[in-house]
Every structure is written in structure tokens, then in C-alpha cells.
Structure 1
Amino acid sequence: MNDRHDDFEKIYHQTFPALSKYLLFRVAQVSDMEDLLQNVYTDFYRKVLLPNKDIDDMTAYLTQMANNELKRYYRWKKKAPLTL
């Protein structure tokens, strides 16, 4: 378990700056970007950092996860009622 956690921290620190910029350019507010990033890294930790899971390019994989999270975000935003 500790190796898994160490691997996650290493990947997180390597990918966080680029991924946060990528999302920030696509959403209106920093708080939305932070929520999306949290979802991406939580899903990544749960699904990807498993034994026998080999990914060649973690940045590309996380970017694809971020794209999927953006799609969910914009679908939700489209359905959410407007507030004044």
C-alpha cells in the first residue's frame, strides 16, 4: 500500500501543474477547476494504481480522464437551473 501511495504522490506532483492549467482554461472558476481535479485524481487513485495496470503515458491518460470529467461537468451545468 505504501508503494502505491508513493507512486501516486510522484505522479501527482509531476502532472498537477499541467493538468490544473489545462482545466483552468476550460472552466470559468478556480473552484470548479479544483473540484474537477479532485475528481480526476480520486478516480485515478482508485482505478489506475492497481497491480498489473501498465500505462505508458500518465500525462496523456490523466488528460483523457480530465476530458471525461469536463464532459460530465458541462452536461451537469447544462441541466442545472439558472440562479439569479
Structure 2
Amino acid sequence: PFYYSLADSFTICDQHFCSSITGTNPNRLYFWTANIRENLTGKALVWNGDSEFSGKATWTTFPERLSELGVNWNIYQNEI
């Protein structure tokens, strides 16, 4: 009953598969921004060494877009 209540109340993403067959950093960019390049003609960042991953993309992320539209959002994670 407890897990059903959580699933019914929140978005659950229990399976995550990589969006591009590359390293960790490009997939993190894709996860948060749906892109691995800054613009349509930009270089695709397909190798971990292609970009210095400082935790912030140079283009707009999903959380930033939601905040700009006044949509409240949260990240829930466990300690595993």
C-alpha cells in the first residue's frame, strides 16, 4: 500500500537507459537537457573529454525551463 501511494502521487522513473551510446557525461547532459550539443550546428559532445563537466550545461536545462514557466519541481532520491 505504501509504494502504491508513492507511485500514485509522484512521477516514478525506475528504469533509466542511456540516450546515446557514449560515456557518462554526454548522457547526463542528454538526461537534463535532451541534447548533447549547444545548438543545431554545434559539435556533439559524445566523449567524456569533449566537455569539461562542471555540473552546469551552457544551454537551458529542463529544471531551468520549468522554473521559468513557474512550474514547481523537486528531485527525490534515496541513499542507495
Instruction: Give the structure-2-normalised TM-score.
Output: 0.30
Between 1 and 2, higher relative CO (CA 8 Å, sep ≥ 6) is seen in: 1
Larger Rg: 2
Task: Indicate the structure with greater helix content.
Answer: 1
